[in-house]
């Protein structure tokens, strides 16, 4: 049985077991459900799964750089994706990525992996964001 089905079944069991009579939902039950959504044990695993393999996700036509370039091409605001890209340099959950960060400088990774050239204004903005983040830590 897949984990999605098990989670769904567990969620339904909680609803049916705690359901008040006549379809009226008690205030305490509402609060418990809200709290339950943020305290699940698998929350860390979800983050780890979504954040793994940042080197691949930072490639030229992948999940971050690809949309960033497309938005930039049509004159849109890329500030959110720039911040996400800068945050990737602070991620330490993937051993391969950590080794890459230790071996190469931020600027070398931006040029070699992300294919962002130093003469671009995007390059300067991202380097500044990464330096700001490093100062906060």
Q: What is the pLDDT of residues 53-95, one digit of tens each?
A: 888 888 888 889 999 999 999 999 999 999 989 988 888 888 8
Residue 21 has pLDDT above 60, yes or no: no
Q: What is the pLDDT of residue 26?
A: 53
Q: Looking at per-residue confidence, does 29 or 87 come out higher? A: 87
With tokens 């911040």, the residue in question is 83
Percent residues over pLDDT 90 in the chain = 39
88 neighbors 64 (Cβ within 8 angstroms): yes
User: How big is the CA angle at 123 (ends 105 and 49), to the nearest 5 degrees?
Assistant: 65
With tokens 């950590």, the residue in question is 98
pTM of whole model > 0.75? no
| Domain 52-136 class in CATH | mainly alpha
Residue 119 has pLDDT above 70, yes or no: yes
Q: What is the pLDDT of residue 29?
A: 52
Q: What is the pLDDT of residue 91?
A: 85
Residue 28 has pLDDT above 60, yes or no: no
Query: Which segments of the chain belong to CATH 1.10.1040.10?
Result: 52-136
């Amino acid at each position: 049985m897949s984990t999605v089905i098990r989670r769904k079944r567990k969620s339904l069991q909680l609803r049916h077991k705690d359901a008040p009579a006549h379809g009226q939902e008690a205030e305490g039950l509402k609060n418990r459900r809200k709290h339950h959504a943020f305290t699940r044990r698998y929350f860390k695993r979800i983050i780890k799964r979504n954040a793994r393999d940042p080197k691949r996700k930072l490639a030229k036509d992948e999940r971050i750089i690809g949309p960033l370039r497309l938005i930039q091409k049509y004159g849109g605001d890329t500030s959110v994706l720039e911040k996400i890209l800068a945050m990737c340099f602070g991620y330490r959950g993937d051993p391969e990525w950590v080794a890459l960060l230790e071996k190469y400088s931020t600027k070398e990774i931006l040029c070699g992996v992300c294919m962002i050239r130093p003469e671009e204004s995007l390059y300067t903005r991202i380097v500044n964001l990464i330096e700001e983040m490093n100062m906060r830590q």
